[in-house]
A and B are shown apart, each in its own frame.
Chain A
Amino acid sequence: MATGSRTARSRFTLIFLLLSSATLLTLDARDFEPLQRTEETLTDLVSPLRSGADRLFEPVGDAWTGITGYDELEAENQLLREELQKLEGQQILDSDAAIRLELLLDELGLPYVQDIPNVVAEVVTANIGNFDRYSVQINRGSEDGIRRGMPVVTRGGLIGRIDGDPGRGYSQVALLTDPNFEVGVLVVGTDDVALASGSGHDEPLTVTKGLEIDTEVAVGHEVVTSGVDRSRYPPGIPIGVVTDIDFDEARLLQLLTVAPSANTNNLSFVTVLLYDPLAGES
């Protein structure tokens, strides 16, 4: 009898919890604001504990990365040494390229990113699970003026955008490498606005839509955000450099492979551009 009532109770509990989960899923999918506020409050409550634990265990995590990633680090160091040698040898060419990019951006009438109000944020956590490889969390949020969709950059260029509604003191950043990430781009020196998308961790970006087959593009050309009307990104943010060109004869389009100019691995600090092209329209 007692066993029967316990079984009935555990079934009732299961059904109650399942219905609660399903309700939360539905409300979240519909961007139900009170739920989002509750999530923010709960996250803010746990935040001090988490920050303390982060600081406490940071050396352990670093040591682990040092041990398990030693070969990787060594290979990366070797690569960096080679790149440094190349850079030293091509310093003059590089400065020429920078001047050329600046001039081209000028010609196109693209404003500089530095003019846009921005907030520097620290990356407080990279992914915490095994399914969130394309996002990081930063320690700035709505109270700093950050809103959903704002572009996030480093010195190298665009690295992502604010994903979802930020909390008061934190935000989630969707990284450029996410295969679902799309951004309107312009190959500097052309007029065609195209669409670039991520291709996964440590993979180059691809441009598969919008670039006419007769547009003159060459390997080495710089790619920047197009900033066309109502784009969520301002014009002229560096995206990367064209490393390969292919042709889609059926659709009469060029397909570009673009090496990102900004590194999305091991991010420490990022800059959120407080850019909202739709502000004031609502």
Chain B
Amino acid sequence: MTRANAYLRSALFLLTALILHMALFSDLRVLGVAPEVPLAIAVTAGLVGGPERGAVAGFAIGLGIDLYLPTLFGLSALIYTVWGYSVGLLEQRIFRSAWWINVLITAAATAGGLLVYAVLGELLGQANLYTDRLYEVMGVAAAYNLVLSLPLLALWRWSWPRHLGEEH
């Protein structure tokens, strides 16, 4: 597979994930909490493809979801970019991880990402982000993304096979 094909696959994967998140996953709520698929996409991209691809995937899916959220346009993109990059860097420098560590990282990064999103959003004047319900949302979404991380990691490996190289 050529790099061009890999870029095409990645773009297709991101678009499909965005559509599926809005049409399907946002309805599959547990305790009123939906999975944070876009955040999981950014984190797993970092885990599979390294910091640069994590940042680019996070930025792209963040912009996509920002189109539909009432918060400021660019807020999700900013946070998912940082998260995709940081997780990619951590994985590369520290973990070099087994599959189960990647799964745990996805869950922990989801909880952390939501906290940062709420705090930064409130600092930027967005209402109703840091609420009493935030910790419940973090816990359930982290558990949800823990389950989703395995197929997402596999899909990233499909869209960007190892022989094309990680951007480490």
Contact = CB atoms under 8 A, between A and B. Distances in A.
A61 B55 contact: no
Contacts of A178: 127-128
B77 A24 contact: yes
Interface in A27-50: 27-29, 35, 39, 42-43, 46, 49-50
Interface stretch (A12-20, A185-193, A274-282): A12-20
Given A21-B74, A25-B74, A180-B127, A61 B28 contact: yes
A125 B22 CA distance: 8
B128 A10 contact: no
B19 A13 contact: no
Interface string B1-45: 000000000000001001111111011111001101000000000
B70 A172 contact: yes
Given A14-B55, A68-B30, A128 B70 contact: no
Contact of B52 (A13, A46, A179): A13
A14 B81 CA distance: 7
A203 B23 CA distance: 28
Interface residues of B, number: 53
A150 to B, nearest CB: 16
Interface residues of A, number: 51
A54 B51 CA distance: 33
Contacts of A179: 127-128
B118 A131 contact: yes
B167 A61 contact: no
Interface in B82-99: 82, 85
Contact of A39 (B22, B27, B73, B168): B73
B73 A35 contact: yes
Interface in A150-189: 163-164, 172, 174, 178-180
A210 B135 CA distance: 36
A3 interface: yes
Nearest to A13: B52
B26 to A, nearest CB: 4
Nearest to A29: B72
B23 A50 contact: yes
A128 B55 contact: no
Contacts of A28: 72-74
Contacts of A172: 70
A129, A172, A174: most-surrounded residue (chain B CB, <10 A) = A129
A266 interface: no
B71 interface: yes
Contact of A64 (B27, B36, B117): B27
A65 interface: yes
B24 A61 contact: yes
Given A46-B67, A127-B26, 14 more contacts: A9-B52, A10-B52, A14-B51, A18-B81, A25-B78, A35-B73, A42-B67, A53-B23, A53-B24, A61-B27, A130-B33, A130-B114, A132-B70, A137-B68
Interface of B: 15, 18-24, 26-30, 33-34, 36, 50-52, 55-56, 59, 62-65, 67-75, 77-78, 81-82, 85, 114, 117-118, 121, 124-125, 127-129, 137, 141, 167-168
27 contacts: A6-B52, A9-B167, A14-B85, A18-B78, A21-B78, A24-B74, A25-B72, A25-B124, A29-B124, A35-B73, A39-B73, A43-B67, A46-B64, A49-B15, A56-B23, A57-B20, A57-B27, A60-B24, A125-B26, A128-B26, A128-B68, A129-B26, A131-B69, A131-B71, A132-B69, A132-B71, A174-B70
